[in-house]
């Protein structure tokens, strides 16, 4: 959705510069908080993920509100609306899945994510291969 910040495609006004300047770092921080919060079972990073998710939802809703169907080209209006719907559904799904992951913190998820390959197969750390694994 950040690509739809550009209205005319060639020049940026102050609002567009602010959205790009703030939106890209927030998106990167959101991604890193989600990835490492889940991997390390870190509740603070997961909380950051949920907090930063509000900015994504807010931007998508903001973009739909300021979209003017009569001043925009029809294809731009439909493309933005479709992308906004897909982005909302995707972000909502990711947030729901992260909530499910958060509920399972401390139940062995971290151990399962740290499986190490052993001769083409995965074996939990500290478990020697059996005769069947060879």
The pLDDT of 78-104, averaged and rounded, is 93
Dihedrals phi, psi of 125, to nearest 5 degrees: -60, 140
Look at 115 and 76; give whichever has higher pLDDT: 76
Chain center to CA of 71: 31
Which is nearest to 58 in space by CA: 21, 37, 77, 84? 84
pLDDT per position as a tens digit, 20-77: 899 999 999 999 999 999 988 999 999 999 999 999 999 999 888 888 766 667 887 8
pTM of the model: 0.75
Which is nearest to 52 in space by CA: 100, 94, 109? 94
Which is nearest to 19 in space by CA: 36, 45, 32, 1? 1
Look at 43 and 7; give whichever has higher pLDDT: 43
Which is nearest to 60 in space by CA: 30, 31, 87? 87
- The domains of the chain are located at 11-122
């Amino acid at each position: 959705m950040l690509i739809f910040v550009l209205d005319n495609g060639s020049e940026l006004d102050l609002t567009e510069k602010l959205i790009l300047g703030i939106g890209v770092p927030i998106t990167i921080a959101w991604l890193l908080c989600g990835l490492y919060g889940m991997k390390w079972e870190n509740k603070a990073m997961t909380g950051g993920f949920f907090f930063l998710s509000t900015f994504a939802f807010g931007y998508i809703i903001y973009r739909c509100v300021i979209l003017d169907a009569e001043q925009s080209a029809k294809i731009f209006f439909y493309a933005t609306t479709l992308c906004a719907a897909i982005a909302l559904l995707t972000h909502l799904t990711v947030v729901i899945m992260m909530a499910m992951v958060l509920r399972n913190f401390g139940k062995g998820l971290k151990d399962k994510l740290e499986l190490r390959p052993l001769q083409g197969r995965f074996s939990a750390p500290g478990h020697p291969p059996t005769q069947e694994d060879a």
